[in-house]
Amino acid sequence: MQRKIKTQGRELFFRESYEESRDAFRKAVDHHQAPVQSFACSALGPDGGPLTVDCAMIGGNHAANLVMLSTGLHGAEGPLGSAVLLQFLESLRLDESLNNTRFLLIHSLNPYGHAHGRRFDAENIDLNRNFLLPEESYSGSPEIYQTINPFLNPQKPPQHFSGFLFNAAYYIARYGFQKVQQAIAGGQYDFEQGLFFGGHTASETKQIVEQNWRSWIGDVRRVIHLDFHTGLGKWGTYQLLSNHEFSREHQAELQTHFSHLPIMKTQENNIVYQTKGDFGHWCHQQSAEIDYCYLNAEFGTYGPLQMLRALRNENQYHHWFPGVPNPEHWSKKNLLEAFCPTSEKWRNQVLEQSEQLIQQAVRYVRSE
Ligand SMILES: [Zn+2]
CATH number at residue 109: 3.40.630.10
Distance 119 CA to ligand 1 centre (A): 8
Residue 11: pLDDT above 80?
A: yes
pLDDT (tens digit per residue) in 141-159 = 999 999 999 999 999 999 9
10 Å CB burial of residue 149 (0-12, 13-18, 19+) is middle
Distance 60 CA to ligand 1 centre (A): 30
Q: How far apart are CA 318 and CA 296, in angstroms?
A: 27
Residue 317 lies in a domain: no
pLDDT (tens digit per residue) in 80-139 = 999 999 999 999 988 777 889 999 999 999 999 999 999 999 999 999 999 999 999 999
Distance 20 CA to ligand 1 centre (A): 21
Residue 102 lies in a domain: yes
- The count of domains in the chain is 1
Residue 270: pLDDT above 60?
A: no
Q: Which domain holds residue 345?
A: 10-132+197-306+335-366
Residue 281 lies in a domain: yes
pLDDT (tens digit per residue) in 287-310 = 988 999 999 999 999 999 999 999
Residue 33 lies in a domain: yes
Q: Mean pLDDT in the chain?
A: 93
pLDDT score, position 5 = 58
Residue 258 lies in a domain: yes
pLDDT score, position 266 = 62
Residue 269: pLDDT band (50, 70, 90) is low
* Alpha helix (H) residue ranges in the chain: 18-31, 78-91, 111-116, 143-152, 164-175, 177-185, 204-217, 248-257, 279-286, 304-320, 330-339, 344-366
What's this model's pTM, rounded to 2 decimal places?
Answer: 0.95
Residue 260 lies in a domain: yes
Distance 287 CA to ligand 1 centre (A): 22
Closest CA to 366 of 294, 291, 297: 291
